[in-house]
Amino acid sequence: MKEKYIRQSFLGENSQEKIEQTEIAVIGFGGGGSHIGQQLLHIGFKKIKIFDADIVEDSNTHRLVGINYPDDVVNQEPKVEVAKRMAKSIQGEITIETYKTTWQENADVLKKCKIIVGCVDSYDQRDQLEVFCRRHGIIFVDIGMVVKSNEGESSQMSGQVILSLPGHLCMRCMGFITDENLNQDRSKYGDAGPQPQVIWANGVLASTAVGIVVNQVTGWAGNVAKPIYLSYNANAGELEVHPRLKYTKIQKCSHYVLELVGEPKFIDL
Amino acid sequence: MNDELKITSKFLKEIRLNLYRPHSFAYERVGFVYCKATKKEGGLVASTYEAIADQLYIEDKMVGAKFSGDAIFAAMKRSLKTKEGVFHIHIHEHKGEPHLSNVDIRSVLEISNSLSDVTPNVKHGCILLSEDCCKAYVLSGDKKSLQLIKTSVIKFPFSIFYPKGELL
């Protein structure tokens, strides 16, 4: 093992090789995705694909890891350029593929990935990503946070980290994706202004997700294959298994059956 | 070669349980795994398993399992309709990396060629299991040999069998 990774050698025999060989994508390089990209690069992932169609704006300054203020804002730098710069500063070379597009516009490159980490804003996007992952046998990790404000009360900040493993319970089985919240989502997400986000909550969720990814690749923690749905109560600073998963009676996913894997296509009726 | 076959560990477990059922005279069981293409350059995801029906086995003490052409014909018919890749599957009962025997190679080549005649645009081949390893082979472009491909078992932690022979 290379000297620079010696202090993570406890991850197991060939762990660094496994990490370097794993193709992984990060969808969204904002508050959560920039944390995740940074950590994946430090850990030594070499086959990283990053998708984000946005440019850096003033309102990203408080949470975008790797931002070069004010130049990135003034130059309207694409967020994926921040990712490239980050890769060069951490790895010494640009080891990542970046796409200044939505993931749907370049979905073919995602099909090779073993893991996709979704750092997207809406239930609808999460739902689409999970459908894609299930179709192509890809492990999906989702993170997200939301702030709810009620007049006269303090804002409630919460979030989730979900591991959706093909063959196991999906986000619908876990009660996270529902028709109701998909409909609500289409009108607005959260109710404390436009997409409220803060760096510390993004950091907690992103770090937890990276831990799940590394465990999935190396198996160092010795768990067994199972879906994960962690609920983050940022007001209390608590992260715990969500009751919807903890007490679920669902044994088998009925939403994504194996017969439906592969490219979608028209069939004769 | 960019070919890769993905299979979930849950599905693989179900297949193993099915293959371990004793047969009245055959030494081992075999089946077909139907795979859907997921990308142009050769991605496949295992989708459905069909066991060879008991009555289609033919008694032959020279091999572990022999089955009638009806089973292959049924697989050809299904592939023609669904455009799925068809992979013959069986287990070698030991730990570590399994290897195809000469009989395996000969019979899988015959079956895969038959399947390739009806659906030439999808990959056909075989999946070979041991007690702790899973490898997939596809029929080569010239249809004369079987090529080992990258095989991913989606589980915790996921395992990938690379064509060079190393198991990561």
Mean pLDDT within A142-159: 91
Which residues of chain A lie closer than 8 angstroms to B38, CB-CB? 111, 135-137, 261-263
Identify the pLDDT of residue B61.
86
Q: What is the largest CA-CA distance in chain B?
A: 42
Q: Under an 8 A CB cutoff, do A137 and B7 touch? A: yes
Is the pLDDT confidence value at A235 over 50?
yes
pLDDT in tens, B54-89: 999 999 888 888 998 999 999 999 999 999 999 999
Shortest CA distance from B9: residue in chain A: A167
Q: Is the model's pLDDT at A186 over the cut of 80?
A: no
Q: Give residue A94's pLDDT.
A: 83
Top-confidence residue, A191 or A256: A256
What was the pLDDT predicted at A13? 87
Write down the pLDDT at residue A259.
85
pTM of the model: 0.90
The low-confidence residues of chain B, meaning pLDDT below 70, are 1, 39-41, 163-168
A50-88, pLDDT tens digit by residue? 999 999 999 999 999 999 999 999 999 999 999 999 999
**pLDDT per position as a tens digit, A17-39:** 999 999 999 999 999 999 999 99
Q: Please check whether residue A254 touches B, CB under 8 A.
A: no
Q: Supply φ then ψ for residue A243, to 5 degrees.
A: -55, -30
Instruction: Over range A259-269, report the average pLDDT.
Output: 81
The pLDDT-based confidence of A40 (bands split at 50, 70, 90) is very high
Closest in A111, A218, A258 to B11, CB measured = A258
Q: d(Cα A120, Cα A40) in Å, to the nearest integer?
A: 18
CA dihedral (A240, A250, B50, B46) positive or negative: negative
**pLDDT value of position B168:** 40
The angle subtended at Cα A201 by Cα A197 and Cα A205, nearest 5°, is 115
Residue A136 to residue B38, Cβ atoms within 8 A:
yes
Summary mean pLDDT of chain B: 91
Q: How confident is the model at residue A89 (pLDDT cuts 50, 70, 90)?
A: very high
pLDDT of residue B164: 59
- Which pLDDT value is given to residue B1? 65
The mean of the pLDDT values for chain A is 92
What whole-number distance in Å separates Cα of residue B136 and Cα of residue B162?
10
**H or E, element range at A158:** strand A156-164
pLDDT band (50, 70, 90) for residue A199 = very high
What distance in Å separates the CA atoms of residue B47 and residue A78, rounded to the nearest whole number?
39
* Closest among A62, A59, A64 to A35, alpha carbons compared: A64
* Residue ranges in B7-165 assigned as alpha helix (H): 9-19, 69-82, 102-118
Tokens 């086959």 appear where?
A: A47
Q: What confidence tier does A118 reach under pLDDT thresholds 50, 70, 90?
A: very high
Cβ within 8 Å of residue B129, ≥6 positions away:
B12, B16, B19, B89, B90, B91, B92, B98, B135
Q: Are A200 and A239 in contact (CB under 8 A)?
A: no
Tell me what pLDDT residue A193 has.
Answer: 52
Inter-chain touch B154–A216, beta carbons under 8 Å: no
